[in-house]
């Protein structure tokens, strides 16, 4: 209980408030707001471990809209909603009236009458996912102002074309626990590197989320990718600005070896180049199947030129003391297991398999914290009320 109370005091010290604020991009939040989410996630995690119920809702919906496939984020969202007492309703757009011309404005209102939170994953189209989330937000604002909706549901970005805040925040919380706090992260070198994959259309949002967030915490962030595999230029600029403001550093290199050299954390992850995602989006919108097949053929041929961009024992031996922490958002393309050649060798992945599962385990609490801080003006006071109530989550015996 002392530990939970100390975390609650840290929540108060942030002086931050996210009540009624959507969580779309990490770089739109100030450092105190980020700390607030991290501390609330820790408090909720500790309460569950001590068998204290975190249910702050007696009823209400958390609606999920997944426009791309998902395992970890989908179940993390459902787990987070259930932890707080909300029922989950997944909106299957194929079973909705969207196919019959229902507008975003109408859909947003129709799913929100008794809804507290809407989680959206839309990462397929470059220039569309983040825009869609803002469009939903504007529709909710209108519905609430016109008294159609009794409350304005909050929106949590479960991954868009620009950022993956629930992933990067969960990764950050993992690092904070692994190294013992924010001060310990300052000056640590993290290598966010492209890695070979036998597929070509993976979103940019994970690497962009990592460089956009870790540069806020004074880390030495190195982004590595082959020539032509760059990210959205505006996000790269944001990472550089963040590093300058935090006292950290940020650089871009075209060598995986350079990035791994003396790194303490490595994050090898495949993504499609920015210019490829632009072309892919145009082809998807025009439903040009032949063009998409040609683009895929071209991109896979380009990927095949970089088979050596694999996280293997040789690469890991370049890291600090030959034992950098390996991270991945999962699922990883594992050479000889899930594919012939991939992002990481079987040996390295197996060595770090359990730590990557631990890393993933922080995501439900991060999502729950984003929900919690959106719906309650006084997160610290609300947590204290749960402690006083001390209702057991599981009644034993």
Structure token pair of residue 4:
């939970």
The region that residue 34 occupies, defined by phi over 0 for left and psi between -120 and 50 for alpha, beta otherwise, is alpha
The CATH class of the 165-360 domain is alpha beta
Average pLDDT, the chain: 96
The CATH class of the 2-163+363-389 domain is alpha beta
d(CA 62, CA 154): 10
Counting other chains too, the contacts that 102-108 makes at CB distance below 8 Å and 24 or more residues apart are 104/132, 104/135, 104/136, 104/139, 105/135, 105/138, 105/139, 105/142, 106/139, 107/139, 108/136, 108/139, 108/140, 108/143
Note the pLDDT of residue 188: 98
Give whole-number Cα distances, 357 to 40, 47, 72, 260, 334, in Å: 21, 21, 10, 22, 15
- What ranges do the domains of the chain cover? 2-163+363-389, 165-360
Q: Tell me if 2-163+363-389 shares its fold with 165-360.
A: yes
Give whole-number Cα distances, 119 to 41, 84, 159, 337, in Å: 17, 15, 9, 32
User: CA torsion sign, 112 to 118 to 123 to 127?
Assistant: positive
Q: Do residues 217 and 185 touch, judged by C-beta distance below 8 A?
A: yes
Give whole-number Cα distances, 112 to 80, 92, 369, in Å: 18, 15, 20
Note the pLDDT of residue 252: 98
Note the pLDDT of residue 97: 73
Note the pLDDT of residue 11: 98
The string of pLDDT tens digits covering residues 109-144 is 999 999 999 999 999 888 999 999 999 999 999 999
Mean pLDDT of all residues in 325-341: 97
Note the pLDDT of residue 313: 98
């Amino acid at each position: 209980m002392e530990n939970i109370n100390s975390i609650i005091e840290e929540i108060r010290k942030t002086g931050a408030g996210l009540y009624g604020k959507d969580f779309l991009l990490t770089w739109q939040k100030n450092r105190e707001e980020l700390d607030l989410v991290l501390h609330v996630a820790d408090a909720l995690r500790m309460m569950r471990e001590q068998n204290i119920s975190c249910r702050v809702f007696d009823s209400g919906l958390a609606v999920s809209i997944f426009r791309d496939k998902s395992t970890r984020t989908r179940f993390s969202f459902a787990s987070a909603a259930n932890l707080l007492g909300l029922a989950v309703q997944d909106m299957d757009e194929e079973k909705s009236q969207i196919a019959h011309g229902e507008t975003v404005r109408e859909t947003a209102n129709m799913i929100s009458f008794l809804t507290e939170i809407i989680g959206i994953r839309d990462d397929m189209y470059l220039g569309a996912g983040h825009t869609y989330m803002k469009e939903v937000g504007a529709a909710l604002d209108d519905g609430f102002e016109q008294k159609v909706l009794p409350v304005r549901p909050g929106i949590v970005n479960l991954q868009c074309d620009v950022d993956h805040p629930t992933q990067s925040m969960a990764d950050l919380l993992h690092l904070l626990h692994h190294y013992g706090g924010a001060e310990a992260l300052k000056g640590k070198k993290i290598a966010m590197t492209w890695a070979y994959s036998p597929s070509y259309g993976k979103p940019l949002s994970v690497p962009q989320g990592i460089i956009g967030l870790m540069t806020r915490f004074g880390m030495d962030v190195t982004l590595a990718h082959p020539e032509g595999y760059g990210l959205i230029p505006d996000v790269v600029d944001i990472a550089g600005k963040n590093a300058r403001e935090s006292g950290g550093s940020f650089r871009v290199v075209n060598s995986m070896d350079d990035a791994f050299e003396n790194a303490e954390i490595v994050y090898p992850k495949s993504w499609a180049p920015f210019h490829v995602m632009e072309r892919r989006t145009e082809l998807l919108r025009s439903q040009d199947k032949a063009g998409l097949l040609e683009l895929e053929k071209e991109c896979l041929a380009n990927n095949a030129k970089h088979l050596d961009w694999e996280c293997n024992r040789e690469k890991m031996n370049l890291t600090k003391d030959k034992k950098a922490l390996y991270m991945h958002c999962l699922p990883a393309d594992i050479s000889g297991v899930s594919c012939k050649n991939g992002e990481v060798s079987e040996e390295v992945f197996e060595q770090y398999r359990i730590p990557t599962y631990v890393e993933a385990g922080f995501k439900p609490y991060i999502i729950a914290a984003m929900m919690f801080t959106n719906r309650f003006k006084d997160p610290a006071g609300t947590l204290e009320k749960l402690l006083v109530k001390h209702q057991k989550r599981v009644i034993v015996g």
